């Protein structure tokens, strides 16, 4: 199965002002009705007259849909009405007919109420209007539908990791087929690599989404130009009706479509705000990596459509495709699942750096010092004497601690959560075990080795307050004598300000971050 692109719209089709409709109650008495208009897309002709819009299906066969018979067009009209009434029941009035002299049968059409163009969400965003309230209402509306949307085995099948992979691969093939002289646009090769790596290690994540009931019969084509912000709430129009499988999506994927569209309209903060509100209203526990992956997917599908438009001579389509590929790439880089090892001797500042780095990246932090005591049932802040008294620092207990550390990290990575692991990592076998685990989960591994002059380390160990670590100066000296070389680790000087060390670490973990266009890293949230 392949996707023809957002809305199945063909290349060069106009903006969907054709679907705009307005309720009579939205006009003041005596106010003149809008002028009659007509708009044509690849699949329909829409006539606007007064407060009504009439959509007639074209007798076309585009491969992914076939409207060449009256029977097929009638069924398509009825299907469009039934599906869209789920989101805007007072807009889709019902089926109608046009009777033409000499025609063998009346022509079916969709009768709608006409919406005010100045309340279109895309227009409001372009004009710089404040749309938080509208986005909150759309998020609530979408989450409410997803909560009650039909679910079935057929729906679930489209939410699997392999189904998503197939849709990506189909788009890759289509983009390569469109390339002039076999030269694909810049960034496509990296998009392919990042997508395949993410999906390869995330089967657990997608299986859990299905188990949680997150895959639904949704909207499938949530664009800002099809949303109208009225005083009594939003009207969401034009869901994808020509292929049910493309409408069977993860609810987060459905929401990500609008987030991608808002970002393309120049409103990344609005995109993040909308996704955060959707997550709030839907109670969705998805990791940020999945949010970004779905936004990237929607951007790449639209980039594919823009490339098709460019080949047909549409002005600006080539530039749009490059911009959309860059958007997909930014989000895929942000979504990459990473395992960061932060090691070093006691007093090197590794735990402080680990905490600051995890906080900056918005990822999970796991500490060997805390886990060691947790496994023994000892509070993390308990005194050093109690810890040593229970043999917590024997080679056997250390091996048990590192095994548990990597096991927990593996579960998180497979679920789409990036992880920072705070431990000394002084043993080569422990580092090799971490590398093997990263390979199994298709996670990007970065190793950071904290170091400071000996006098700085000694001063820190002699003055620090009791905490999870039981190491003192004597233990640190003994460990330094046994520490094995770690040439593959990036050295980080932690003797200066913490922010300097964090900057060094970030440059190693996210080398592409400097100079990149802004992209939201975590759901943006403001209090009501």
CATH number at residue 318: 3.90.1200.10
Compare 348 and 423 and report the one with higher pLDDT.
423
Q: Tell me which of 44-58, 213-227, 446-460, 471-485 is least confident.
A: 471-485
Residues 180 and 328 in one domain: yes
Residues 500 and 365 in one domain: yes
- Cα 201 from Cα 89, distance rounded (Å): 41
The 10 Å Cβ neighbour count of residue 508 is 16
In DSSP terms, 245 is beta-bridged to: none
- Cα 217 from Cα 266, distance rounded (Å): 29
In DSSP terms, 94 is beta-bridged to: 111
The token pair at 500 is: 């300097």
Is 5 part of any domain?
Answer: no
In DSSP terms, 53 is beta-bridged to: 48, 112
Res 516: pLDDT: 44
Whether pLDDT at 265 is above 60: yes
Residue 456 backbone dihedrals phi, psi, to 5 degrees: -70, -45
Handedness of CA 339, 213, 252, 169 (dihedral sign): positive
- Cα 473 from Cα 79, distance rounded (Å): 75
Residues 317 and 188 in one domain: yes
- Cα 205 from Cα 196, distance rounded (Å): 15
Residues 102 and 132 in one domain: no
**What confidence tens digit (pLDDT) does each residue in 479-526 have?**
666 777 899 999 999 988 999 999 999 999 987 654 444 444 444 444
Is 521 part of any domain?
Answer: no
User: Range of 198's domain?
Assistant: 117-335
The token pair at 452 is: 């400071």
**What confidence tens digit (pLDDT) does each residue in 156-205 have?**
999 999 999 999 999 999 999 888 666 788 999 999 999 999 999 999 99
Is 386 part of any domain?
Answer: yes
Residues 288 and 365 in one domain: no
Instruction: Give 281's pLDDT tier (boundaries 50, 70, 90).
Output: very high
> H or E element: which one contains 229?
strand 227-230
Task: Confirm if 351 and 481 have CB atoms less than 8 A apart.
Answer: no
DSSP 392: T
Res 435: pLDDT: 96
Mean pLDDT, the chain, rounded, equals 86
Strands (E), 245-345: 248-250, 338-343
Whether pLDDT at 65 is above 90: no
Is 417 part of any domain?
Answer: yes
Show Cβ contacts of residue 132 under 8 Å, excluding neighbours closer than 6 positions. Answer: 270, 273, 526
**Over the range 148-171, which residues count as b (16 or more CB within 10 Å of their CB) and which as e?**
ebebeeebbebbbbebbbebbeeb
What dihedral angle (degrees, nearest 10) is formed by the CA atoms of 208, 209, 212, 214? Answer: 180
Helix (H, G, I), strand (E, B) or coil at 66: strand
Residues 263 and 400 in one domain: no
Compare 345 and 454 and report the one with higher pLDDT.
345
Residues 184 and 63 in one domain: no
Residue 103 backbone dihedrals phi, psi, to 5 degrees: -75, 145
Instruction: Give 452's pLDDT tier (boundaries 50, 70, 90).
Output: confident
Handedness of CA 503, 504, 510, 512 (dihedral sign): positive
**What confidence tens digit (pLDDT) does each residue in 1-51 have?**
444 444 433 323 334 433 333 333 344 445 677 788 998 877 889 999 999
Helix (H, G, I), strand (E, B) or coil at 150: coil
Is 170 part of any domain?
Answer: yes
Task: Confirm if 227 and 236 have CB atoms less than 8 A apart.
Answer: yes
Task: Confirm if 327 and 264 have CB atoms less than 8 A apart.
Answer: yes
- Cα 260 from Cα 299, distance rounded (Å): 6
Whether pLDDT at 472 is above 80: no
- Cα 360 from Cα 417, distance rounded (Å): 14
Find where tokens 């459509």 sit: 305
Helix (H, G, I), strand (E, B) or coil at 216: strand
Q: Of the residues 65, 83, 114, which one is the last residue of a structural domain?
A: 114
Residues 359 and 237 in one domain: no
Is 6 part of any domain?
Answer: no
Whether pLDDT at 251 is above 50: yes
The token pair at 63 is: 């491969």
Residues 196 and 70 in one domain: no
Residues 94 and 157 in one domain: no
Q: What is the CATH number of the domain that holds 468?
A: 3.40.50.300
Alpha helices in 85-218 (DSSP H): 121-126, 132-148, 153-157, 161-178, 188-200, 203-211
Whether pLDDT at 209 is above 50: yes
Taking the model in full, what pTM does it have?
Answer: 0.84
Q: What is the CATH number of the domain that holds 27?
A: 3.30.200
**What confidence tens digit (pLDDT) does each residue in 95-154 have?**
999 998 988 899 999 999 999 989 999 999 999 999 999 999 999 999 999 999 999 999
Is 317 part of any domain?
Answer: yes
The token pair at 522 is: 């975590």
Beta strand 419-422 pairing with 364-367: parallel
Is 95 part of any domain?
Answer: yes
Q: Of the residues 114, 148, 181, which one is the last residue of a structural domain?
A: 114
DSSP 315: T
The 10 Å Cβ neighbour count of residue 176 is 14
The structural domain count of the chain equals: 3
The token pair at 41 is: 């897309």
Whether pLDDT at 334 is above 70: yes
Q: Among 87, 134, 136, which residue's Cα sits nearest to residue 112?
A: 87
Q: Among 494, 158, 495, which residue's Cα sits nearest to residue 342?
A: 494
- Cα 74 from Cα 65, distance rounded (Å): 13
Q: Of the residues 335, 352, 367, which one is the last residue of a structural domain?
A: 335
Residues 66 and 196 in one domain: no
Task: Confirm if 330 and 519 have CB atoms less than 8 A apart.
Answer: yes
Residues 299 and 376 in one domain: no
């Amino acid at each position: 199965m392949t996707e023809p692109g957002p809305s199945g719209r063909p290349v060069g089709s106009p903006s969907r002002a054709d679907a705009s409709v307005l309720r009579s109650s939205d006009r003041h008495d005596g106010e003149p009705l809008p002028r009659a208009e007509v708009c044509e897309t690849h699949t329909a002709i829409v006539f606007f007259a007064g407060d009504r819009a009439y959509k007639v299906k074209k007798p076309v066969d585009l491969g992914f849909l076939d409207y060449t018979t009256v029977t097929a067009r009638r069924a398509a009209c009825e299907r469009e009405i039934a599906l869209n009434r789920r989101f805007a029941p007072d807009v889709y009035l019902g089926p109608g007919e046009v009777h033409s002299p000499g025609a063998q049968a009346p022509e079916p059409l969709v009768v709608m109420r006409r919406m005010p163009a100045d309340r279109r969400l895309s227009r409001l965003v372009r004009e710089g209007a404040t749309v938080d309230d509208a986005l909150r209402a759309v998020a609530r509306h979408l989450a409410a539908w997803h909560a009650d949307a039909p679910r079935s085995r057929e729906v679930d099948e489209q939410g699997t990791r392999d189904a998503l992979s197939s849709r990506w691969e189909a788009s890759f093939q289509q983009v390569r087929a469109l390339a002039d002289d076999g030269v694909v646009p810049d960034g496509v090769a990296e998009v392919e690599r990042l997508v395949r790596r993410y999906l390869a290690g995330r089967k657990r994540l997608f299986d859990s989404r299905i188990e949680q009931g997150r895959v639904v019969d949704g909207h499938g084509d949530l664009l800002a130009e099809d949303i109208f912000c009225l005083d009594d709430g939003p009207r969401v129009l034009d869901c994808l009706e020509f292929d049910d499988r493309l409408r069977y999506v993860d609810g987060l994927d459905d929401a990500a479509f609008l987030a991608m569209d808002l970002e393309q309209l120049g409103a990344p903060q609005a995109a993040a705000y909308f996704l955060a509100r959707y997550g709030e209203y839907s109670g969705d526990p998805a990791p940020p990596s999945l949010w970004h992956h779905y936004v990237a997917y929607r951007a790449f599908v639209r980039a594919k459509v823009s490339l098709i438009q460019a080949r047909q001579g549409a002005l600006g389509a080539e530039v749009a495709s490059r911009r959309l590929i860059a958007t997909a790439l930014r989000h895929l880089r942000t979504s990459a699942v990473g395992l960061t090892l932060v090691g070093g001797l006691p007093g090197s500042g590794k735990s402080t750096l680990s905490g600051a780095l995890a906080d900056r990246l918005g990822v999970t932090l796991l500490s060997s010092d805390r886990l060691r005591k947790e496994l023994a049932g000892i509070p993390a802040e308990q005194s050093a004497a109690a810890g040593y008294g229970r043999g917590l620092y024997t080679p056997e207990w250390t091996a048990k601690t590192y095994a548990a550390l990597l096991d927990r990290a593996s579960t998180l990575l497979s679920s789409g959560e990036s992880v920072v692991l705070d431990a000394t990592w002084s043993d080569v076998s422990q580092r090799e075990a971490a590398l093997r685990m990263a390979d199994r989960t298709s996670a990007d591994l970065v190793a950071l080795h904290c170091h400071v002059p000996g006098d700085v380390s000694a001063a820190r160990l002699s003055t620090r307050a009791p905490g999870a670590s039981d190491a003192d100066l004597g233990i640190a000296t003994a460990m330094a004598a046994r520490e094995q070389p770690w040439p593959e680790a990036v050295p980080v000087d932690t003797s200066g300000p913490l922010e300097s060390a964090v900057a060094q670490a970030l440059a190693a973990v996210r080398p592409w971050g400097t100079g990149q266009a802004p992209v939201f890293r975590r759901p943006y949230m403001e209090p009501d």
